Amino acid sequence: MADDEFHRIFDALDDLLDEERTALLEGNLDHVARLLETKETLIDALADLDANEVKPLQELDKKVRRNQVLLDSALAGIRSVAERLTALRRVRRSLDTYDAKGVRQTIDMVSDKSVEKRA
């Protein structure tokens, strides 16, 4: 019975890891997030079983590590975009210039949003 349970959980986790990989490659991070709870439940269930089969677990470990590399890359990309957006916002608010001696000066580009009405 425990052997059947092990294979059921193993197969479900194996399929989920493949689904997670596909979602990561497609950039579907919402789907990856939705899979997280199920993945944690399956891993906990697998850990609770007395599994004597090491070879299948090594295959799952390879998939988990492969997906982690993809996830790390996705997060690095998100951080890069966030840094770029921050730099663009900073450019809109100010302008950095350098004088002949190489000293940086910042010119604030804040515009006055009020309108002056003249008669």
- Identify any residues that bridge with 94 across adjacent strands, giving them in sequence order: 108
pLDDT tens by residue, 30-80? 999 999 999 999 989 888 876 666 677 888 999 999 999 999 999 999 999
CB 60 within 8 A of CB 13: yes
CA angle centred on 90, ends 99 and 104, rounded to 5°: 15
Q: Which residue has the tokens 């900073």?
A: 90
For residue 110 the two structure tokens come to 């804040």
Q: What is the pLDDT of residue 20?
A: 96
Q: CA 118 to CA 55: how far, in whole Å?
A: 83
pLDDT tens by residue, 89-119? 877 788 788 989 999 988 887 666 666 777 6
Domain range annotation of the chain: 2-108
